[in-house]
Amino acid sequence: MKKLIVSLLLIASVTAMYAQRANVNRARNMARSENPNFAGARELIKPALQDESTKNLALTWFIAGEIGYRENMRLETQRYFNPGAFDQSKQGQIIMESINFFIVADSLDQLPDDRGRVRPRHRRDMRRMVSEYYQFGSLVGYGAYLFEKNDFVGALNAFNTFLAIPDLPLIEGSIPKDSTYYQIMFFAAISASSAENSDEAIRLFELLTTKDYETLAVFELLHREYSLLNDTVNYVRILKEGMDRFPSELWFIQQLINHYIYSEQPEKALEYLTTAIQGDPTLAQYRFVEGNLHEQLGNMEEAEAAYKKALELDPDLTTALEALGLFYFRRALAIDDMVFTIRDPQLRRQEEEKAANEFRRALPLFERLAELEPTEMRHKYRLRGLYNVLRMDNELEAISQEIERATQ
């Protein structure tokens, strides 16, 4: 009885094995027929991909991939002859699935046989089919379709699948990485960034820094990704590399200067600003920033000279007008605060006149500001203070009335 049960189990096992192998052949025939039944072929191949008797056979996975390949050919025909019925999403999913099946098939096809020999049977056909996926652009079209639908994760997956093809073992280096390849890598990086996957965006952008595709944009976008991660070391590195690669592009050095300003490193900011000024000595904004940095560092003579230079280059630069006006205003207040400590009347009058001179220097700057920015109330308030301290009664009355009307 025991032998009978074992025999029955063995027969059942062999029957199941042959049944699954028969299903693989039937699936192949369904896909290759003149009137293919792709849905039926898929239903037949599914259990064979999991059954112990067939799941480790390269043929099983090859046929699974071939089903998708042949269905894709039908869809391509439909695209041209009946574009209204064409389904971009369906085509993309079929291609992605087919490639994955071929990858597994190739790995099994490279295993040694019972005699230790490696005799692949399907690589040649698979290389041709996967190469067509790469060359005909359907996979890229699928990624673009998903991107337009704001499915950035799906788009990234499609683009990365495309990018992986030239490096697949089954391709054997037969596909060169040309400008189109790096164009798709750029789109993949944008997709990763849009999907808030900074790590993947950075990986792709870093690869692109050594390629000749949108290199300027790559550096700018790479800086953005490192900034999002608060990775100071790397975003400063990228800015410095960008300066070296694109010396005529002011954006990199400007961002670097801003970084050192906001991180309270005025000495480093001034160092790079000096380089920027050498590159463009006519930019008034640089001189304004230079004055601000010198003022922070206590270099008052250099600060005043830089503000004046900024206004020489651009007499209506409001930031420089205000900075120099406040510079004189603060200096006047500092002198004025010391006047009360002086006992000698003559020395006191001399210091009072010095303070008044500083207020007078500030006055035309704030008057010009009030002309350029007539709705900005802080300029009017400062003018009122200056008219008061300089005893300019008519002007004081006029500005006071103006302030009153504006604040009613």
Q: What is the pLDDT of residues 335-393, one digit of tens each?
A: 877 877 777 778 878 877 888 899 999 999 999 999 999 999 999 999 999 999 889 98
The per-residue pLDDT for range 118-150, each reduced to its tens digit, is 778 889 999 999 999 999 888 999 999 999 999
Count of structural domains, the chain: 2
* 351 residue type, one letter: E
pLDDT (0 to 100) of residue 250: 83
Contact 395, 385 (CB under 8 A): no
The per-residue pLDDT for range 36-89, each reduced to its tens digit, is 888 887 888 888 888 887 888 888 889 889 998 998 888 888 777 777 777 888
Calculated CA dihedral for residues 46, 52, 58, 63, nearest 10 degrees: -20
136 against 10, higher pLDDT: 136
Residue 164 lies in a domain: no
As a whole number of angstroms, the distance between CA 346 and CA 174 comes to 94
* Token digits of residue 55: 């799941």
| Closest by Cα among 139, 20, 119, 22 to 69 | 139
With cut-offs at 50, 70 and 90, classify the pLDDT of residue 26. confident
306 against 26, higher pLDDT: 306
Segment 247-276 shows an average pLDDT of 89
Contact 153, 112 (CB under 8 A): no
Residue 293 lies in a domain: no
Contact 247, 279 (CB under 8 A): yes
The distance of Cα 22 from the centroid of its chain, to the nearest Å, equals 51
| Closest by Cα among 47, 75, 79, 86 to 63 | 47
Residue 134 lies in a domain: yes
> Is 271 exposed, middle or buried (CB count within 10 Å of its CB: 0-12, 13-18, 19+)?
middle
Q: What is the span of the domain harbouring residue 136? A: 14-77+87-110+121-141
The per-residue pLDDT for range 172-210, each reduced to its tens digit, is 889 999 999 999 999 999 999 999 999 999 999 999 999
Residue 237 lies in a domain: no
| Closest by Cα among 281, 325, 334 to 307 | 325
As a whole number of angstroms, the distance between CA 44 and CA 50 comes to 11
As a whole number of angstroms, the distance between CA 113 and CA 6 comes to 29
Residue 116 lies in a domain: no
Residue 309 lies in a domain: no
User: Measured between alpha carbons, how far is residue 172 from residues 52, 118, 261 in Å?
Assistant: 30, 16, 52
Average model confidence (pLDDT) across the chain: 87
- What stretches of 314-344 show up as alpha helix (H) in DSSP? 318-339
Residue 355: its H or E element: helix 345-372
8 against 337, higher pLDDT: 337
Q: Give yes or no for residue 13 having a pLDDT over 50.
A: no
As a whole number of angstroms, the distance between CA 49 and CA 46 comes to 5
Residue 343 lies in a domain: yes
| DSSP reduced 3-state for 60 | helix
Least confident range of 104-118, 122-136, 297-311: 104-118
- Whole-model pTM: value is 0.76
The per-residue pLDDT for range 211-226, each reduced to its tens digit, is 989 999 999 999 999 9
Highest mean pLDDT among 163-167, 254-258, 385-389: 163-167
pLDDT (0 to 100) of residue 1: 53
With cut-offs at 50, 70 and 90, classify the pLDDT of residue 19. low
As a whole number of angstroms, the distance between CA 41 and CA 149 comes to 31
Instruction: Please provide the DSSP assignment of 151-207 as one string.
Output: -HHHHHHHHHHHHHGGGSGGGTT-S---HHHHHHHHHHHHHHHHTT-HHHHHHHHHH
Q: How large is the angle between the packed helices 377-389 and 345-372, nearest 10 degrees?
A: 150
4 against 286, higher pLDDT: 286
Residue 9 lies in a domain: no
288 CB-near residues (< 8 Å, 6+ apart):
306, 307, 310, 317, 319, 320, 323
pLDDT (0 to 100) of residue 212: 85
| Closest by Cα among 135, 142, 139, 130 to 104 | 130
| Alpha-carbon radius of gyration of the chain | 37
pLDDT (0 to 100) of residue 181: 94
Give the N- to C-terminal CA distance of the chain in Å, as an integer: 109
Segment 267-274 shows an average pLDDT of 91
